[in-house]
Structure 1
């Protein structure tokens, strides 16, 4: 009886831990359409998004107008946010393309350097953002996944964490005007 209980507990613990495992970018290598970050984030894009808290309740909705350009391996993503409460925000990403589908990025409200990688139709991006909330600035970790759906549509889901605890998610749908 004790052995059966121990085996059941071990199996439950293994399942619980596997639920904490993150996705592997390599599993998207054969997915299409293939995401070329420099091509997709070039020109003008619009994104529609929302932030949900831990319970899944929508806390804030927003739109983003993005003007993006590249010069060689250096890209600029100029983002203008408009939130449902009327507030606005600006973020300018400066990206660098590295070998093997890897990218780094910096922005004024990003702590240190963001890093990411593309494979197939996916882009995985991690960074720490200085996030102002009610007069206090918190450093929040983002685990950001983007999936190219068509030549003009990309979906994005990012999990926000502080001290390893999940705070909520940001969900975005990017649309790009066909060239």
Structure 2
């Protein structure tokens, strides 16, 4: 699947618009054969900083096993639908591409676990706009480039 496949689709999913304001969400993580690993609720809030032309987006995950994880993103739009992102637990930068209703986001992050440990995981997330207030994400998480979990996430703007 290539980002250009979505160029003519609508509505547009522009991170600098969608992630501004309050959001709520829900996530299900499955292993590769479809078995349930975790569930989570998500609360998010984003602001657009016009001086730096960045979105400052915070999302807090609360998992059914009791642990939580809060991400503090700084997302910058580049040229021709390209995006970069920073977050305090990232290895390097997140790289994104947008076209039509889709946004593709890839990054490696040291991700906290319920047992107090953390693992560096590679994320490969596809966001799809449903309408102006909702998007669905299908993502994968893995290590050393090998995926071992799939995430299904829904976000709704409040």
Bin the TM-score by the shorter chain.
Answer: over 0.9
| 1:12 corresponding residue in structure 2 | none
Alpha-carbon offset, residue 138 of structure 1: 2.3
Please give the alpha-carbon distance, in whole angstroms, between the structure 1 residues aligned to 2:82 and 2:105.
Answer: 10
| 2:8 corresponding residue in structure 1 | 30
Cα 1:153–1:117 change in 2 (3 A) is: same
Alpha-carbon offset, residue 31 of structure 1: 0.6
| 1:170 corresponding residue in structure 2 | 151
Structure 1 gaps of 5+ residues are: 1-22
Determine whether 1:95 maps to 2:79. Answer: no
- Greater fraction of residues in strand: 2
- Greater fraction of residues in helix: 1
Please give the alpha-carbon distance, in whole angstroms, between the structure 1 residues aligned to 2:70 and 2:14.
Answer: 24
| 1:61 corresponding residue in structure 2 | 39
Q: Secondary structure at the match of 2:132?
A: coil
Figure out how many residues of one structure are paired with residues of the other and give that number: 155
Determine which structure has more spread, i.e. the larger CA radius of gyration: 1
Name the TM-score, length of structure 1 as normaliser: 0.82
Q: Secondary structure at the match of 1:27?
A: helix
Alpha-carbon offset, residue 60 of structure 1: 0.6
Structure 2 gaps of 5+ residues are: none
Alpha-carbon offset, residue 136 of structure 1: 4.1
Alpha-carbon offset, residue 121 of structure 1: 0.4
